[in-house]
Amino acid sequence: MSLRFRHAVVVGASSGIGASIARMLAADGCAVALLGRREAELQRVVASLPAGARAIPVVHDVTDQTGVPLLFERLVADLGGLDLLVYAAGDMHVPEEGEYDFARDRRQIEVNVLGAMAWTGAAAAHFEARRSGTIVGVSSIAGVRGRRTMPAYTTSKAALSAWLEALRNRVSRHGVNVVTVKPGFVDTAMTTHLTKKPMMISADRAASLILATARRGGSPSAYIPAQWGLVAFVVRHLPSWLFRRLDL
């Protein structure tokens, strides 16, 4: 099976992985709504789409979760339907040694978890009623363990992966494809300040692997690229006393 997407919403499409996914969908003839806070970046992505592409840039802050149901319905109407929702919005902060900043931690939960729950929940209700549709959530290898270097981010991605698994268990029986993708390091604005970036891939490569995974159907959960699955297995099984000594 290879799904062909005709109408898509990409949340977090103003840069990085989400922008690459939106570009690839548009190049395949899919009408796309691109969401993010930075209007100029959204316009830049739209301007880079192939001539004739149907694209709707939408300025939206995912921390405004109460506005999601109305906006979701409006986008479905404007696009003329919906068969794919990608949640790629994300926020990551690496605190300094000794830094405990609840506001900064909270923002990562707001963007990476609550925003995702609002958007994918709206999509799940819509797709369940129609007995079809695909939801893609961009989680991360970082969610495998609670890491000392990025506590709130790893917590948020563990929560996001659990939420997507629960959603899959709820709606896959109604014909809805729920796809969890867990990339390793991807060359985007989010990773520019990181010093160690093993096995890093481009945003386009990540987007292409993510879309290929989504098109296969079957509600998979996949590491991007697949080699990170082995890393995750090893990391998950490291004893806690050893894991806490590592600079991860």
- Binding residues (CB under 6 A) for ligand NAP: these are 12-18, 36-38, 41, 60-63, 88-92, 111, 138, 140, 183, 185-186, 188-191, 203
Which residue, 163, 165, 164, 145, is CA-closest to 155? 145
55, 34 Cβ separation under 8 angstroms: yes
Gyration radius from the chain CA atoms: 17
Residues taking part in catalysis: 153
Pick 129 or 194: Cβ nearer ligand NAP: 194
CA dist., res. 212 & res. 162, Å (int): 22
Residue showing tokens 């948020």:
156
108, 156 Cβ separation under 8 angstroms: yes
DSSP 87-127: E-------PPTT---HHHHHHHHIIIIIHHHHHHHHHHHHH
CA dist., res. 149 & res. 134, Å (int): 33
45, 14 Cβ separation under 8 angstroms: yes
Least distance CB 1 / ligand NAP (angstroms): 26
